[in-house]
Structure 1
Amino acid sequence: MQTRPLRLVLVDDHEMVLEGLKALLARFRGRVRVVGQAIGADEAEPLVSSLDPDIVVTDVRLRGSASGLDLCQRLVAADPKRRVVLLSAYDDEQYLFQAVRAGAAGYLLKSIDSESLVRQLELAAAGQTVVDPSMAGRAVSSAARLQAGEFWPGAHLGLTQRESEVLGHLVAGLSNRAIAARLVLGEETVKTHVRAIFRKLGVGDRAGAVAFALREGIFQ
C-alpha cells in the first residue's frame, strides 16, 4: 500500500509543457510529488541519478540526439528497477511497442485526464506495465498481426506505418519535398520521419537508409 506520494521527475522538450504538467499534478499532492524536471535527455540523466525518483515521466520526442525512448533505455540499463513512463502525443502502437522493448513501465497519451494519469502512474510504480486505455485494444490487435507477419514493411524494425511509407519513397529516390506532396504532409514533418528512420535503422544518411532497406529486403 502506498504510504507516501510518488516522487516524479518530468522530462519534455518545452518548459511550458513541464510547468503545465507540474501544475496539473499539484492537485494530487497526497499521491504524487514532482521532485525534478528536465529539458531533454542530457539534462535528465544526471538529474534522475541524483534524485532517484519513483517514476520518470518523459515525452517520446526530445530535443538533441536522444529521444525519450533512448533515455528510457539508458535509464533502465543503468538501473533495471527504474520505472519510466512515456507520456506522448503520438497515438501510435509502434511507439508503444518500442517503449516496451526499451524497458518502459508504460505508454500514456497526453490526452489522458489527470485522475487517470495519476492512477496509471500508481499502477506503474506498483510494478504493472500500463498502456493508455484508448490504445490497449488496438495494441493487442496490432501485436497479433505483427506476430503473424501481417503488417507494413519494416514494422519488425520498429518503423511506424508512416515511416515505412516515407522509407519506400526514399528508396524510390524522391526528395523530402516530393514525399511531402505525395503523402500530403508538411516538409518539416517528412524531415522528422526521415530522422526517426535513420535512428531506428542505425544509419546516418539517406543513402544508408536506402542501402539498409534494399539489403534487408524491406523494399525490393
Structure 2
Amino acid sequence: MDTRPGSRTSVEILASDPVLRAGVESALRLCAQVTTDGPPAVTVIAVDTIDERTLRLVRETDRRGVLLVATSVDAAGTLRAIEAGVNGVLRRAEADAEGLAAAVLAVADGHGSMPPDLLGEVMARLGRLDANLSHRRSAPVLDDREKAVLLMVADGHETVEIAKALAYSPRTVTGIVHDITHRLRLRNRAHAVAFALREGLI
C-alpha cells in the first residue's frame, strides 16, 4: 500500500444486495484515506451470511486483498472465508466509517484480521481439520526472525511498526511474511498466525 501522506487506497465494492452496497459506500465516503476511484487495491465484499455463494465470489475475486463484511459471522464461516482467500473479516455491526476504513487499510497493507472473539475457536477448528488429514505435512520450522515477525503480527502490529521494532525495512518484513505463507502453503497473514499459534511455532 502507498503510505505517503495524501495517498488514498482504492476499493471496489461487491454486495449481495443494493442496501448492503449503499451502506458500505456511505461509510467509506467518510474516510479521507479510501476512495472508490482508480484500480482497486482491496475488494470489499458485503453479504448477510458466509455461504457457498459468498465463498465462490471470494474465490473468483482476483485482487491483492479481500475484506469480507458480513451481517452474521461465526467461527466456521470465518475459517471457510480465510481458506477461500479472504484477508479480513468484519461484522457488519462493527463496519462504521472508522472500523471499515481501518479494516480496508489493514488489508491493503497485507494484514489479516478477524473478530478477536473468534480467534480461539477458529484456531481450534484449524487444529481439528489438520488432525483429520491423512497426509499431514512434515513439521514446519520457523527461524528466529520469522518467529519474531509473526509474534508481532499476532499482536496486531502494522508492517512499519514491526520493521521499526526489529530494525528491518518494511520491505523485509513483508518479504518474511510472504516467505512463510508461501512455504507453508497458507492463504494470508491471518492464516499464518493461526497456524503458527496452533502448531506451537510462536
> For each residue in 1:104-134, what CA deviation from the matched residue of structure 2 results, as whole angstroms up to 9, or x when unmatched?
1111111114222211221111111211233
3-state SS in 1 of match to 2:10: strand
Residues 87 and 113 (structure 1 numbering): CA distance in 2 closer, same or farther, change over 3 Å?
closer
2:118 aligned partner: 135
3-state SS in 2 of match to 1:67: helix
8 Å contact kept, 2:48–2:71 = no
Q: State the shift of 1:87 in Å.
A: 0.9
Give the 5 Å matches for 1:95-110: 95-110=77-92
Q: State the shift of 1:97 in Å.
A: 1.5
1:52 aligned partner: 39
8 Å contact kept, 1:58–1:87 = yes
2:177 aligned partner: none
Residues 113 and 134 (structure 1 numbering): CA distance in 2 closer, same or farther, change over 3 Å?
farther
Q: State the shift of 1:16 in Å.
A: 2.1
Give the 5 Å matches for 1:1-220: 2-3=3-4, 4-28=7-31, 30-35=32-37, 52-60=39-47, 67-76=53-62, 82-114=64-96, 115-148=98-131
Give distance in 1, aligned partners of 2:109 and 2:20: 26
Residues 99 and 107 (structure 1 numbering): CA distance in 2 closer, same or farther, change over 3 Å?
same
Residues 60 and 26 (structure 1 numbering): CA distance in 2 closer, same or farther, change over 3 Å?
closer
> For each residue in 1:125-147, what CA deviation from the matched residue of structure 2 results, as whole angstroms up to 9, or x when unmatched?
11112112332233223333444
Residues 32 and 87 (structure 1 numbering): CA distance in 2 closer, same or farther, change over 3 Å?
same
In the alignment, structure 2 segments of 5+ residues that lack a partner are 133-202
> For each residue in 1:2-31, what CA deviation from the matched residue of structure 2 results, as whole angstroms up to 9, or x when unmatched?
231211111112212211221122111x21
In the alignment, structure 1 segments of 5+ residues that lack a partner are 36-50, 150-220
Identity of aligned residues (%): 21
User: Larger relative CO (CA 8 A, sep 6+): 1 or 2?
Assistant: 2
CA RMSD of aligned residues (A): 2.6
**Larger-gyration structure (1/2):** 1
Name the amino acid aligned to 2:15: D
